[in-house]
Homo-oligomer: A and B are copies of this chain.
Amino acid sequence: MPTGNSAALIGLDWGTTSLRAHLLDASGAVIERRSSAEGILADHKGGFEGTFGRVAGDWVARAPGLPVIASGMITSRNGWVETPYVRVPAGVDELASSLVPHDLSPASRIHFVCGMDYDPVDGTPDIMRGEETQIAGCLERGSGGEGEEGLFVMPGTHSKWVSVRGRRLDKFDTYMTGEVYAVLKGHSILGRLMEKSAGPLGTGFDQGVSARLESDGSLLRHVFSARTMALFDRVAPDQVADYLSGLLIGEEVRSALKDCGSGSGSGSGAGATVTIVGDGALTERYRRALELAGVAAVPAPEDAAALGHFAIARQAGLIAG
């Protein structure tokens, strides 16, 4: 239920598989939070506006004219309103000045946050929708080295690594780690030798991470060792899945630390600190992999997306007071 603070903003973190809504006060504190499995791929009766009304309609009714801000895949071609990308380097300023407004009613307007894109010299562009807002939220709370510089990882099906410099997103890279793991486990020969692990994070994971950190051979060859190591009894059957997970996350961590060390972002590699954005078991895997690589990890602030919505909305002059 609402506290005594008056509502100043509704923030929607609306991704492919979930919708998280926050009611915020004028200081950026969360008054109330709701979540729904109605990501953009769900069946939206009454369209996205209908879903928004069911999830947050009472917030709007209590405070007509309350500004609404939304980020994530809801701004993609398959979302509610497609927004362009803001090119990095960019920060809260650019996100605030590029908001795409959409009228819900004469009294109510929703502002969509643009995603960001990155077009490095190697000619392979990269994109994000939603993560830029979470990074803005981390910076709002001074996460990642006093908020000026830092390296952030956002583990997931498609992990993002973001370098921040001067409070702006400087560059970022997407790694398909989570999805490659899922398809190799579920659909390749590697899944056949895997037995369910009893524990939460097995020794096979450490073994995989360490092996990959030490190898510069091709990943296409190294993943085959998830089969041969099992056949040679060097990885137990209930550790093969974690071993493969370790190989892949080890590859990602090694590459991301190397890229950031040589890129225009903050210096990284051993001794650096990485901020992990997210929660759940997957972030623990990344923390452990970074530890094995000699890099300390710190968690991002809670409600990073909501904090980002607040920072962008404030910069855009949407918040009264």
Contacts and interface: CB of A to CB of B under 8 A. Distances in A.
B255 A125 contact: no
Contact of A124 (B124, B211, B251): B211
Contacts of A229: 124-125
Contacts of A184: 180, 183
Interface string A227-245: 0110110100000000000
A302 interface: no
A122 B184 CA distance: 23
Interface residues of A, number: 44
Interface in A189-210: 189
A106 interface: no
Query: What is the predominant secondary structure among interface residues of chain A facing chain B?
Result: helix
A189 B277 CA distance: 23
Nearest to A228: B125
A244 to B, nearest CB: 11
A173 interface: yes
A219 interface: yes
B183 A221 contact: no
